[in-house]
Structure 1
């Protein structure tokens, strides 16, 4: 079975602008979100994380030597869960992103990020390659709606009563 080539945020936005806009709105509504990485033994690790959407990319910045950064260096697979916020009903829905994180070593790319974000120095910077974006929300107080996007595919929408 072949897997489609992962997409960056710009490619996802071009392919599915409505879902991308809803996802970005949810992530920018709060500062901190939850990142899941894989430990050496393969078990999951969850950590708090800030994300940034800049220049067509979804960026993950981390403190130097952090366990989540070391996890991603060893195994780039991640899952990112939006902060549910103070609204226990999550009226805007829930968003999860899966993919691979690629550490940015290029000094010019890192300098451009620093110019806009001004993170504490030093830091790890990862750009993301998306393999899945999922949005779940309640429609008309009746249906649980799940929108699933994968690179090379159109959004698949499931509705449950």
Structure 2
């Protein structure tokens, strides 16, 4: 929320506005292949599923199998939350990272073809481009819990707690 109105941002705009924070978040997602996506079912209850993410062309992308429940959820209601894999040893090295926003399905053949030049998903598939509403990174620094929060139209806010 910004001034009472939900706003959205592209990954490129986020990276331009907050390059250091965006870089740390992207690095955290790129450390592991699989992450957890939360979508909304028809009845409004949450659905959690595994997912791979891609950062390409200045955007964050979500690809999924054709007809998957998570794709159907996003087609019906594009709101989502994406949580980074905690790591193989559960150390949360690099912090706990979460992104929320809207997933916009890409159906134009030229744009999908551009995406598949470097990434070869199993065909056919759904492709979604992410519009951010919130990025949060929680970490432990020394004896403090540090929460960094960014939303479109504002700077990163940092809260520290002992």
Using the alignment, how far apart are the partners of 1:87 and 1:93 within structure 2?
A: 13
CA distance in 2, matches of 1:36, 1:91: 22
Residue 118 of structure 1 corresponds to: 120
Gaps of 5+ in 2: none
Structure 1 residue runs of 4+, over 3 Å off? none
Match of 1:20 among 19, 22, 26: 22
Q: Once the two structures are superposed, what CA deviation does each residue of 1:3-39 show, in whole Å capped at 9, x if it has no partner?
A: 2531111000001111100000010000000000000
CA distance in 2, matches of 1:48, 1:136: 21
Inter-partner Cα distance in structure 2 for 1:96 and 1:48: 14
Contact kept in structure 2, 1:26 and 1:95, CA below 8 Å: yes
Tell me whether 1:8 sits opposite 2:1 in the alignment. no
Cα RMSD over matched residues?
1.0
Aligned to 2:57: 55
Alignment match, 1:133: 135
Tell me the residue number matched to 1:151: 152
| Contact persistence 1:104–1:110 (CA under 8 A) | yes
Relative to structure 1, is the Cα distance of residues 75 and 4 closer, same or farther in structure 2, using a 3 angstrom cutoff? closer
SS in 2 for 1:11: helix
**Taking structure 1 as the reference length, what is the TM-score of the superposition?**
0.97
Deviation readout 1:54-93 (Å, 9 max, x if unpaired): 0011000000000000000000000000000123231310
Q: Is the 8 A contact 1:91 1:138 kept in 2?
A: no
Q: Which runs of no fewer than 5 residues in structure 1 stay unpaired?
A: none
Residues 87, 93 of structure 2: 8 Å contact kept = no
